[in-house]
Amino acid sequence: MTRTGRGSTRPGVRAPLPSGAYAPSSVRQVSSAGNPVVEFEGEDGRRRTFDFAQCPLPGWHPVLAEVLVQRVGPAGGLRTSTSSLAAWNNLRAFLRFLEALSDCPGDPSALTVAHVNAYTAAEIGRVGPVYGARRADHVWRLLRLEPAAGVIDAAAIGALRLRGVGTPGGGTAGYSDRELALIVDTARRDVMQLRDRLQATETLLGRMSLEPARLTIWSGPTPCGWPKSPPRELLRQKGGRASMPTVHGRSLPSRCS
């Protein structure tokens, strides 16, 4: 990356990607105080440290650290500093709400549908149905992962999905800038290889038609599908006509199986 500092990103200008192969890291660690810590590095090169010492309800921390690693890791859907921070902030807000309840669930297994309904109602009342549903969706996308999904009541997790205005759709997520660049680069390389093969075929066909006497036996490795004997020998063996497949009226070598 070469663009850094203030003004390096703005509307219409993408965040710079790391140079070379991208090797993201998202590691669950333990701080000196014994709290789970998730170290995150995004595709935009920015780093975040998510320390569960900032969250209430210690009984939740080990499980939530595991699901957060999955959500913001290389296989997760959050790969930039901004998106990972949004998930973290909504998770902390969820825990702070649970802590304030009179029947506070001290660990994930104690979470009930009533707890979740109280949380979603509070969020909708505070920021409206659209943003309330989106904040609840952030929490749902974490709690649906293992090991949280294995210890929390499935009905409680499902109650986080509000079937109303603002609930994100269930479509397939798109590619990140890095993934799209790799796909396009691979496709271009494949097209270039195909172009080179077609050009080589056209050149050989032209030589066979115009100057068959100049063709000599190839002493190197035989490309897949090309005859080992020279075309003029084939013509002599076949009585002046080589029995090869034709495309647009011109002979082509046999294709690879």
Q: What is the pLDDT of residues 199-247, one digit of tens each?
A: 888 888 877 777 777 666 555 565 555 555 555 554 454 444 444 444 4
**Do 152 and 228 fall into the same domain?**
no
**Do 30 and 136 fall into the same domain?**
yes
Domain membership flag for residue 173: no
- Boundaries of domain holding 226: 210-215+222-257
Q: Domain boundary at 139, 158, 177, which?
A: 158
pTM passes above 0.85: no
Domain membership flag for residue 255: yes
* Spatial CB neighbours of 60, under 8 Å, sequence gap ≥ 6: 95, 107, 108
Domain membership flag for residue 169: no
The DSSP secondary-structure symbol of 127 reads H
Domain membership flag for residue 38: yes
**Do 30 and 152 fall into the same domain?**
yes
Domain membership flag for residue 150: yes
Domain membership flag for residue 91: yes
**Do 151 and 229 fall into the same domain?**
no
* Spatial CB neighbours of 159, under 8 Å, sequence gap ≥ 6: 113, 116, 117, 120
Give the Cα separation of 68 and 73 in Å (integer): 8
Domain membership flag for residue 103: yes
Burial class (CB in 10 A: 0-12, 13-18, 19+), 77: middle
Per-residue pLDDT of the chain (257 residues; tens, 9 = 90+): 455 555 555 666 666 655 655 455 555 676 667 788 988 887 777 888 999 999 999 999 999 999 999 888 777 778 888 889 999 999 999 999 999 999 999 999 999 999 999 999 999 999 999 999 999 999 999 999 999 999 999 999 999 998 765 555 555 566 667 777 788 888 898 899 999 898 888 888 877 777 777 666 555 565 555 555 555 554 454 444 444 444 455 554 544 44
* Cross-strand pairs, 27: 39
Domain membership flag for residue 14: no
**Do 247 and 146 fall into the same domain?**
no
* Residue 65 contacts residue 28 (beta carbons within 8 Å): yes
Domain count, the chain: 2
| Residue 70 token pair | 């999955």
